[in-house]
Structure 1
Amino acid sequence: MSPHAEPAGHARVWWKEAVFYQVYPASFKDSNGDGWGDIPGLLEKISYIASLGVDVVWLSPMFESPQLDMGYDISDYEVVDPSYGTVEDVERLIKACHDNGMKIILDLVVNHTSDQHAWFKDSRSSNDNPKRDWYFWRPARYDEDGNRLPPTNYRSYFAGGTWTWDEHTQEYYLHLYDKSQPDLNWENEDCRKAIYDSAMRFWLNKGIDGFRVDTVNKYSKVTSFPDAPITEPNTFIQPAAQFWCNGPRIHEFIREMNTEVLSKYTTYDGQPVVTVGELSLTPEPSGVLPYVSARQKELDMVFQFDITHLGQGNGFQDKYDFAPWQLPEMKEIVRKWQTFIEGTDGWTTVFNENHDNGRSVSRFADDSPEWRVQSAKMLALWLVTQTGTLFLYQGQEIGMINAPRSWPIEEYKDVEATGHYAEAVRLAVNGSDPTRKERILNGLQLMARDHARLPFQWDATHNAGFSTGRPWMRVHDLYKEINAASQEEDPDSVLSFYKRALKLRKEHRDVLVYGAFELLDLENLNTFMFRKHYQDRTILVVLNFTAVNQKAPESDDMGLLMSSYPKVLPNVLQPFEGRVYASY
Structure 2
Amino acid sequence: MNRDPEETVSEPAWWTGAVVYQIYPRSFADSNGDGIGDLRGIISKLDHLEELGVDVVWLSPIYSSPQHDNGYDISDYQQIDPTFGTLEQFDELLEGVHQRGMKLVMDLVVNHTSSEHPWFRESSSSTDNPKRDWYWWRDAREGFEAGEKGAEPTNWGSAFSGPSWSLDPTTGQYYLHLFAPEQPDLNWENAQVRQAVYAMMNWWLDRGVDGFRMDVINFISKDPALPDGPVQPGKLWGDGSQYYISGPRIHEYLQEMHREVFDGREAELITVGEMPGVTIDEAKLFTDPTRREVDMVFQFEHVGLDYGPGGKWDYKGLDLRDLKTSWNRWQKGLAQTGWNSLYLNNHDQPRLVSRFGNDGAFRYESATLWAALLHLHRGTPYIYQGEEIGMTNAPFETVEDFRDIESINHFYEATGPLRHEPEEVLRNLRIMSRDNARTPVQWTPGVHAGFTTGTPWIGVNPNHASINAESDRASSRSVFRFYQQLIELRHKNETVRLGNFAMLAEDHPTLYAFTRTLSGSKLLVVGNVSGSDLALPDDPSLKDSSLSGSLVLGNYDGGLTPELRPWEVRVLQMT
Encode CA deviations 1:502-529: one digit per residue, 9 max, x unaligned: 2122222x21121111111112112111
Q: Distance in 2 between matches of 1:26 and 1:382?
A: 29
The one-letter code of the counterpart of 1:69 is D
The residue correspondences of 1:372-387 to structure 2 (distance < 5 A) are: 372-387=363-378
Q: Distance in 1 between matches of 2:240 and 2:359?
A: 36
- Report how far residue 72 of structure 1 moved: 0.3
The one-letter code of the counterpart of 1:59 is L
Task: Label 1:9 to 1:228 Cα distance change in 2 as closer, same or farther (>3 A).
Answer: farther
Whether the aligned pair in 2 keeps the contact of 1:35 and 1:470 (CA below 8 Å) is yes
Task: Choose which of 513, 516, 527 in structure 2 pairs with 1:532.
Answer: 516
Encode CA deviations 1:161-195: one digit per residue, 9 max, x unaligned: 11100110010000000000000011111111111
Task: Choose which of 489, 505, 512 in structure 2 pairs with 1:521.
Answer: 505
Whether the aligned pair in 2 keeps the contact of 1:107 and 1:211 (CA below 8 Å) is yes
Aligned to 2:322: 329
Aligned to 2:481: 496
RMSD: 1.8
- Report how far residue 312 of structure 1 moved: 2.0
Whether the aligned pair in 2 keeps the contact of 1:339 and 1:516 (CA below 8 Å) is no
Aligned to 1:197: 199
Aligned to 1:155: 157
- Report how far residue 325 of structure 1 moved: 2.9
Q: Which moved more, 1:4-13 or 1:203-212?
A: 4-13
Aligned to 1:295: 290
Whether the aligned pair in 1 keeps the contact of 2:7 and 2:519 (CA below 8 Å) is no
Whether the aligned pair in 2 keeps the contact of 1:322 and 1:439 (CA below 8 Å) is no
Secondary structure of 1:573's aligned partner: coil
Whether the aligned pair in 2 keeps the contact of 1:374 and 1:577 (CA below 8 Å) is yes
Encode CA deviations 1:59-109: one digit per residue, 9 max, x unaligned: 110000000001000000011000000011111111100000000000000
Whether the aligned pair in 1 keeps the contact of 2:75 and 2:117 (CA below 8 Å) is yes
Aligned to 2:277: 281
- Report how far residue 438 of structure 1 moved: 4.3
Q: Distance in 2 between matches of 1:145 and 1:305?
A: 39
1:306 aligns with 2:297: no
The one-letter code of the counterpart of 1:401 is T
- Report how far residue 7 of structure 1 moved: 6.6
Q: Which moved more, 1:332-341 or 1:555-564?
A: 555-564
- Report how far residue 491 of structure 1 moved: 3.6
Whether the aligned pair in 2 keeps the contact of 1:94 and 1:208 (CA below 8 Å) is yes
Q: Distance in 2 between matches of 1:9 and 1:225?
A: 45
Whether the aligned pair in 2 keeps the contact of 1:74 and 1:117 (CA below 8 Å) is yes
Q: Distance in 1 between matches of 2:171 and 2:46?
A: 48
Q: Distance in 2 between matches of 1:323 and 1:224?
A: 36
The residue correspondences of 1:25-64 to structure 2 (distance < 5 A) are: 25-64=25-64
Which blocks of at least 5 consecutive residues in structure 2 are unaligned?
537-541
Secondary structure of 1:572's aligned partner: coil
Task: Choose which of 352, 369, 372 in structure 1 pairs with 2:344.
Answer: 352
Q: Distance in 1 between matches of 2:234 and 2:365?
A: 46
Task: Label 1:233 to 1:382 Cα distance change in 2 as closer, same or farther (>3 A).
Answer: closer
Q: Distance in 2 between matches of 1:77 and 1:360?
A: 31
- Report how far residue 324 of structure 1 moved: 3.0
Aligned to 2:332: 339
Task: Choose which of 515, 528, 531 in structure 2 pairs with 1:547.
Answer: 531
Whether the aligned pair in 1 keeps the contact of 2:8 and 2:519 (CA below 8 Å) is no
Task: Label 1:539 to 1:97 Cα distance change in 2 as closer, same or farther (>3 A).
Answer: same
Q: Distance in 2 between matches of 1:550 and 1:106?
A: 43
Task: Label 1:144 to 1:188 Cα distance change in 2 as closer, same or farther (>3 A).
Answer: closer
Aligned to 2:565: 574
Q: Distance in 2 between matches of 1:19 and 1:570?
A: 31
Whether the aligned pair in 1 keeps the contact of 2:5 and 2:336 (CA below 8 Å) is no
1:80 aligns with 2:75: no
Q: Distance in 1 between matches of 2:340 and 2:71?
A: 27
Q: Distance in 1 between matches of 2:317 and 2:481?
A: 32
Q: Distance in 2 between matches of 1:94 and 1:233?
A: 47
Task: Choose which of 553, 560, 575 in structure 1 pairs with 2:551.
Answer: 560
Q: Distance in 2 between matches of 1:568 and 1:407?
A: 43
Whether the aligned pair in 1 keeps the contact of 2:277 and 2:301 (CA below 8 Å) is no
Aligned to 1:407: 397
Q: Distance in 2 between matches of 1:231 and 1:547?
A: 37
1:422 aligns with 2:451: no
Q: Distance in 2 between matches of 1:313 and 1:571?
A: 37
Whether the aligned pair in 1 keeps the contact of 2:227 and 2:240 (CA below 8 Å) is no
Q: Distance in 2 between matches of 1:507 and 1:15?
A: 13
Aligned length: 563
Aligned to 2:215: 214
Aligned to 1:228: 229
- Report how far residue 10 of structure 1 moved: 9.8
Whether the aligned pair in 1 keeps the contact of 2:5 and 2:335 (CA below 8 Å) is no
Task: Label 1:388 to 1:5 Cα distance change in 2 as closer, same or farther (>3 A).
Answer: closer
Which blocks of at least 5 consecutive residues in structure 1 are unaligned?
none
1:451 aligns with 2:447: no
Aligned to 2:539: none
Q: Distance in 1 between matches of 2:221 and 2:8?
A: 32
The one-letter code of the counterpart of 1:190 is Q
Encode CA deviations 1:259-295: one digit per residue, 9 max, x unaligned: 01112436xxxx431100101012x311221111111
- Report how far residue 488 of structure 1 moved: 2.2
TM-score by length of 2: 0.95
Aligned to 1:441: 426
Task: Choose which of 376, 380, 384 in structure 2 pairs with 1:393.
Answer: 384
Encode CA deviations 1:381-415: one digit per residue, 9 max, x unaligned: 112211111111000000000002x5222211100
The one-letter code of the counterpart of 1:63 is Y
Encode CA deviations 1:43-64: one digit per residue, 9 max, x unaligned: 0111111110100100110000
The one-letter code of the counterpart of 1:207 is G
Whether the aligned pair in 2 keeps the contact of 1:105 and 1:212 (CA below 8 Å) is yes
Secondary structure of 1:517's aligned partner: strand
Q: Distance in 2 between matches of 1:401 and 1:347?
A: 29
Aligned to 2:496: 512
Task: Label 1:7 to 1:333 Cα distance change in 2 as closer, same or farther (>3 A).
Answer: farther
